[in-house]
Structure 1
Amino acid sequence: MPGRKELPSTLERSAADAQRTWIKAHDSAVNEYGEGRRAHQVAYGALKHTHEKVGDHWERKEKGRKGPSDQRSARPRRQGGASGEGVDEQATKEHLYDVAKRLDVQGRSRMGRGELLSAIRKENRSRTRRSR
């Protein structure tokens, strides 16, 4: 199972269902495209349909919130554009506010939806860096 050996650190700190999703998609992509960047992109794309990144790990999306997290994940092939970095860009402002609160993002009560998305991405990167 090559995916188990390739598991990113953020997924090592995540629940077993997130790990299984990534590993299954990764291994399938390796069989289709070979080992490398594309297999990882496919695996993350699959993961973003059911999970979102919160801090330094991945969590299952709220009940009823399935589907791609960002525009880039929604495309059948990666055609450029910015990644949502695991933040569910389709989530409501209320959900984003709750995530920002859990991450202790300062100034969150005055932020609009776009600012919340940016602040959560920034805090996720910071926590992932510290966890490594």
Structure 2
Amino acid sequence: MPAKGKKGEYAELPSTLERSPKKAQDTYEKTLENAEQEYGGDEERAHRVAWAAVKHSFEKVGDHWEAKDHRGPSDPRAAERGPNASGPSYGGVDVEGKTKEQLLDEARRLGMHVSTHLTKPEIAAEIEKANKRADRAARAKKR
């Protein structure tokens, strides 16, 4: 079932989830629905909780989400939790759960030419930029 909007009607899934596996969509929708009930209609908090649930099991690859090999926080901000969590997010790139070599492989798979001299956070930031470009291209294509 799609997520509910401000007036109680069902809204569309975020576009990146529309292009993702059914399990990622279900995770977002069910978590959002439960969080809206739990937090008494605090929509912003409910969406934060739903995205956190997605990021716990999935990682952003290009313009969609893919299942991670291991569940867990994908970045320093996700590990901290809460609305005031600090640290970089990397837009869903699983920097915590992957080695530098795995991040380099992912970058290559996305068609990027990334230097092996970069650190894990630098590689993750470059992958995040590529993911944003792919997402923008997919949205433009949809119109």
Q: Name the counterpart of 1:79.
A: 84
List per-residue Cα deviations over 1:30-86 (Å, max 9, x = no partner).
Answer: 112215222111111011111000000000002xx2111112222341214232311
What value does the CA root-mean-square deviation take over the aligned residues? 1.8
Task: State whether residues 2 and 27 of structure 1, in contact with CA within 8 Å, keep that contact through their aligned partners in structure 2.
Answer: no
Relative to the length of structure 2, the TM-score reads: 0.82
Which segments of 5 or more consecutive residues in structure 1 lack a partner in the other structure?
none
Report the count of equivalent residues: 130
Higher relative CO (Cα under 8 Å, sequence separation at least 6) belongs to 1
Relative to the length of structure 1, the TM-score reads: 0.88
Task: State whether residues 20 and 66 of structure 2, in contact with CA within 8 Å, keep that contact through their aligned partners in structure 1.
Answer: yes
Change (3 A) 1:76 1:106: closer
Deviation at 1:119, TM superposition (A): 0.6
Which segments of 5 or more consecutive residues in structure 2 lack a partner in the other structure?
4-9
Q: Name the counterpart of 1:25.
A: 31
- Which of 96, 103, 126 is equivalent to 2:103? 96
Aligned-pair identity in percent equals 46
